[in-house]
Structure 1
């Protein structure tokens, strides 16, 4: 289901996915190579450090990071409070109220099935 989002000053409108999607955990996934907890942490930090440079608002990126790192119920509250439009229930595709698209890789949302834990 879609709804119309219009810019307040220009009356430009775009069709965006309905905002009422309930968040869910991403489906299990496998990294191309076994990855350690430390490598996953570093990859996530690199993504969050560079993500705002690809467009969108810094505040939305910050909210998405907070939601990605939170439990599902808190994540839902964060995206709802920030006005984030969740297109994919696993948060891999989201939009802000201006229509900017935010794509999140699975590795920032969950751990791979082949994660190597320190023994």
Structure 2
């Protein structure tokens, strides 16, 4: 039996994730521009700190459907602070912040003709 204020660490990592809320880029962008932004973020993400294997797991989760993303973050030991994966931590306490553009498409995405 624990204190009323205590909680199991597994509860934090098991937080259910969801898609980010709808968002808009500052100006309409094409899918190619969005992909370029995403690639640039993922190429530079490990330089923000944290462990490369956690960044890799977060990228895999960001690119997967919700069910698979949930399994990826749980198996990597990622502690999800925001259910949309915009703020996460690893088991050592390193913070990982993901911009919404790597997690979903903007409402003002220019569709290919």
Q: What TM-score, normalized to structure 1?
A: 0.86
In 1, Cα distance between equivalents of 2:6 and 2:110: 41
Aligned residues: 108
In 2, Cα distance between equivalents of 1:99 and 1:108: 22
Aligned to 1:108: 102
Aligned to 2:50: 56
Aligned to 2:35: 41
Listed as ranges, the gaps of 5+ residues in structure 2 are none
Runs of 4+ in 1 over 4 A off after TM superposition: 1-5
In 2, Cα distance between equivalents of 1:2 and 1:63: 28
| 1:59-109 Cα shifts (integer Å, max 9, x gaps) | 000000000000000000000000000000000000000000000000000
In 1, Cα distance between equivalents of 2:17 and 2:39: 22
Which structure shows the bigger proportion of residues in helix conformation? 2
Aligned to 2:79: 85
Aligned to 1:24: 18
Which structure shows the bigger proportion of residues in strand conformation? 1
Q: Which has the higher contact order (CA 8 A, sep 6+)?
A: 2
Listed as ranges, the gaps of 5+ residues in structure 1 are 6-16
Is the Cα–Cα contact under 8 Å of residues 2 and 18 in structure 1 kept in the other structure?
A: no
Q: What TM-score, normalized to structure 2?
A: 0.90
